[in-house]
Homo-oligomer: A and B are copies of this chain.
Amino acid sequence: MQDRIHTADAEPGDDVTVAGWVHEIRDLGGIAFLILRDSTGKIQIKFEKDEMDEELVETGLGVSRESVVSVSGAVEEEPRAPTGVEITPESVEVVAPADPELPLDPSGKVDADLSTRLDNRTLDLRKDDVQAIFEIRSEILRAVRERFREFECTEITTPKIVATGTEGGTELFPITYFGEEAFMNQSPQLFKQLIAGSNVERVFEIGPIFRAEEHNTPRHLNEATSIDFEGAFCDQNDAMDVVEGVVKAAYEAIAENCSDELEALGLEDEFEVPEEAFPRISYEEAIERINATGELDEQLVWGDDLPTEGEKALGDDVGGHYFITDWPSEIKPFYIKDHDDDDQLSTGFDLMHPRMELVSGGQREHRHEKLIEGFEQQGLDPEQFEYYTKMFKYGMPPHAGFGLGGERLIMTILGLDNIREAVLFPRDRQRLSP
């Protein structure tokens, strides 16, 4: 459809062909308007019933909402039209008629629950605000990759079909792989480490991860997008620098390139790019500050994991993104390195948004013997992971990295209530289709 132009490009004085969906028909009697919508916006098509070809008027005004039409005609200035221009049609073609009974109203005038929306995602995505979320998602992915490249990272792709999970057999979806037992990977953790141990040194991957968690909450997905980094000769502080750069890159790109989308979401006034450095708060300080808020019934003691209410209290206290560093070793997974001078204290860190955890990272255990001990302490059989551990015998440099939840990033940036709104076709405990 080579000669079609976007509605946003229709200039007064031009003869154009536009094509899109019938957003609305406004019949004022002698005059009527068809509002045509495409990816770039909407345009008014004017029908003067007594002055125009009868068949043309019938076609243009008889068409059902959400049908696809192609309209050719002259663009004219019209200050009363929503975009300041309108088209007087010379021809109208119904390209794809829509059933008049729509399961969802893309004009947004009738609310639909999330489940109906997800069942009818094509129609749902015709709403400006829903489209805006996914245009922003696309922009976030672009900006994050660009920032990773500024950090001299190479983009990698690691396998999603694996023989063993990162942390053993829990929370894995089993698959049958030519008669063998295999799993869908829950994290690129082990693979990205194997690459960071080579000349490639610094890597990132943005890809799907799969977790068979039974949780069915507004912040959990069983298939999610993980934004992963791993860097040789990096420690946890370097990894935190990269996290901070990447998260800020997402905000900065939206501020720079997505003003229309922010407006569609009603966020044009409240959207803010975090300017300050993200504070790095030790776990020890975190529990002190949480206890000081008085929000918890029971005081936290060293060694406790942080309960959701505790994170919330601290998030309110800090008022923005912050890191929690220096966690007790026993709370963090075996592949996180302990501090050299204190084996009860790990180099693990989390990046927190006031609403939830976004990132988990740390320096990795790169010493072969210590790694084997770690597997055993975690109750895992190191032999099952030999494909991974054996590479630690041949010059594995110190390295650090993180995993950032892609949908949580989008959700917190845009203030979405439910993480499913950040995914085109979410997978959860109940939802496997579409």
Contact = CB atoms under 8 A, between A and B. Distances in A.
A113 B202 CA distance: 26
Contacts of A142: 145, 149, 155
A4 B233 contact: yes
A374 interface: no
A123 B394 contact: yes
A178 to B, nearest CB: 6
Interface string A386-403: 011011011111100000
Contacts of A102: 394
Contacts of A124: 198
A126 interface: yes
Task: Give the 3 A-B CB pairs with smallest separation, nearest first.
Answer: A125-B198, A387-B434, A98-B395
A182 to B, nearest CB: 6
Contact of A160 (B154, B191, B223): B223
The count of identical subunits is 2
A382 B350 CA distance: 47
Interface residues of A, number: 104
A197 interface: yes
Contacts of A338: none
A187 to B, nearest CB: 14
B433 A387 contact: yes
A397 B95 contact: yes
A346 interface: no
Given A99-B393, A160-B223, A198 B122 contact: yes
B125 A157 contact: no
A9 B397 CA distance: 20
Contact of A238 (B1, B38, B128, B194): B1
Contact of A163 (B19, B158, B433): B433
A347 interface: no
A68 B197 CA distance: 10
25 contacts: A1-B238, A21-B395, A37-B199, A38-B201, A39-B201, A39-B232, A96-B367, A96-B398, A98-B393, A120-B390, A121-B195, A121-B391, A126-B199, A135-B200, A138-B154, A142-B145, A156-B424, A157-B208, A157-B424, A158-B425, A159-B426, A159-B427, A160-B208, A175-B176, A387-B433
A76 interface: no
A2 B387 CA distance: 31
A238 B95 CA distance: 18
